Amino acid sequence: MYEGFYGFRERAFRKTPDPRFLFLSEAYEEALEQLLFAVEEMELALLTGEVGAGKTLLTRALVDRVGERHEVGMVLNPRLSPRQFLAAVAAEIGVTSPKFHAVDLHAQVQDRLVELDEQGRGALLIVDEAHLIPERATFEEIRLLTNFQLDDRNLISVLLVGQPELRQRLRHKAYRALTQRIGAQFHLPALGAADVPRYLAHRVRVAGGPEGVFEADAAQRLHEASGGVPRVLNQLATQALIEGMARGRARVGAAEVDAVCENLDFLDPLPRRADVAAFPAARR
């Protein structure tokens, strides 16, 4: 692609949430700290953010930091019935030969949590895309998980991760028994204008690219066009690098970014400018 032209070791703006590229904006650092604390305290925690804001990457960074003290289970696609959900949890936290029926699974999960506790370890369950959970009954399973206690200690910390509509949904009083147990919550904002040049420079550095490859006004335009949403930023930055290469320029300037944005309609699945402008951070 563009790596050879500019002298990158690898691509700087891939779509995958790779923790090597983690950029700690102030908000991101705060989120990470709060969630880490919640996990240590074995709390139920909630993390929301717009599509592409960096939620999944944040969970990876969290897992890297909790280390060996916790058995970590991840449910990445929670479009599951309550029983399927419980089976997924059992498999994730290391229950051997999980049974079929929910009652048995419950007992097995509890036994496993007690076993971990005896080893001086806790469990952390991360439920990504939690806004996709189809039934309230599945949330009820999550609530029941948080009931597993020994003396006055919780045996498992659960982190629910999802798009903002998850928060909307949980506000309904039918979820009160669950939401009253939430010990920490964070809404991940988009990157601000000052963060974007640092974000770009950071990813370029990790990918072994040349310092200053994005000129200051290019970074500013990228912020405006992306609303500071990292995934959109990554797509636009990649396109701008390609545009710069096509023009034979060693650095990417505002002109390249503008050219890319003008063609947005053809760059499926990039959002159109009007949609992007609706992100709150775009107006900062």
Ligand X SMILES: Nc1ncnc2c1ncn2[C@@H]1O[C@H](COP(=O)(O)OP(=O)(O)OP(=O)(O)O)[C@@H](O)[C@H]1O
Partner whose footprint covers residue 54, from Mg ion, ligand X, none (CB < 5 to 8 Å by kind)? ligand X
Partner whose footprint covers residue 57, from Mg ion, ligand X, none (CB < 5 to 8 Å by kind)? ligand X
The window from 19-27, 67-75, 138-146, 148-156 that contacts ligand X (CB under 6 A) reads 19-27
Structure tokens at 200: 């770009």
Cβ closer to ligand X: 79 or 247?
79
Contacts 24+ apart (CB under 8 A), 145-148: 145/89, 145/109, 146/44, 146/181, 148/109, 148/110, 148/113
Residues 54-73 as x/- pattern, contact with Mg ion by CB under 5 A: -xx-----------------
The answer to whether residue 138 forms part of the interface with Mg ion (CB under 5 A) is: no
| 208 Ramachandran zone, left/alpha/beta (phi>0; psi -120 to 50) | left
Residues 134-173 as x/- pattern, contact with ligand X by CB under 6 A: -----------------------------x----------
CB atoms under 10 Å from CB of 61, counted, come to: 20
CA distance 146 to 138: 13
Using the rule CB under 6 A, which residue among 2, 6, 8, 23 binds ligand X?
23
Tell me phi and psi for residue 16, to 5 degrees. -70, 145
Beta-carbon contacts of residue 277 (< 8 Å; ≥ 6 apart): 227, 283
Residue count at the site for ligand X (CB under 6 A)?
20
The answer to whether residue 51 forms part of the interface with ligand X (CB under 6 A) is: yes
The answer to whether residue 226 forms part of the interface with ligand X (CB under 6 A) is: no
The answer to whether residue 186 forms part of the interface with ligand X (CB under 6 A) is: no
Partner whose footprint covers residue 244, from ligand X, Mg ion, none (CB < 5 to 8 Å by kind)? none
Could you say which residues in the range 69-108 bind ligand X, by CB under 6 A?
Answer: none
Nearest CA-CA partner of 225 in 264, 174, 177: 264
Nearest CA-CA partner of 92 in 75, 106, 79, 77: 75
Beta-carbon contacts of residue 109 (< 8 Å; ≥ 6 apart): 86, 89, 90, 93, 95, 145, 148
At its nearest, how many Å lie between Mg ion and the CB of residue 175?
22
Cβ closer to ligand X: 32 or 87?
32
Q: How many CA atoms lie within 13 A of 175 on its CB side?
A: 14
CA distance 112 to 98: 11
3-state secondary structure of 25: coil
Partner whose footprint covers residue 231, from Mg ion, ligand X, none (CB < 5 to 8 Å by kind)? ligand X
Residues 227-266 as x/- pattern, contact with ligand X by CB under 6 A: ---xx--x--------------------------------
Using the rule CB under 6 A, which residue among 2, 43, 56, 155 binds ligand X?
56
CA distance 174 to 182: 15
Using the rule CB under 6 A, which residue among 42, 45, 46, 52 binds ligand X?
52
Q: Which residues would be at the binding site for ligand X (CB under 6 A)?
A: 15-18, 21-23, 28, 49, 51-57, 163, 230-231, 234
Q: Which residues would be at the binding site for Mg ion (CB under 5 A)?
A: 55-56
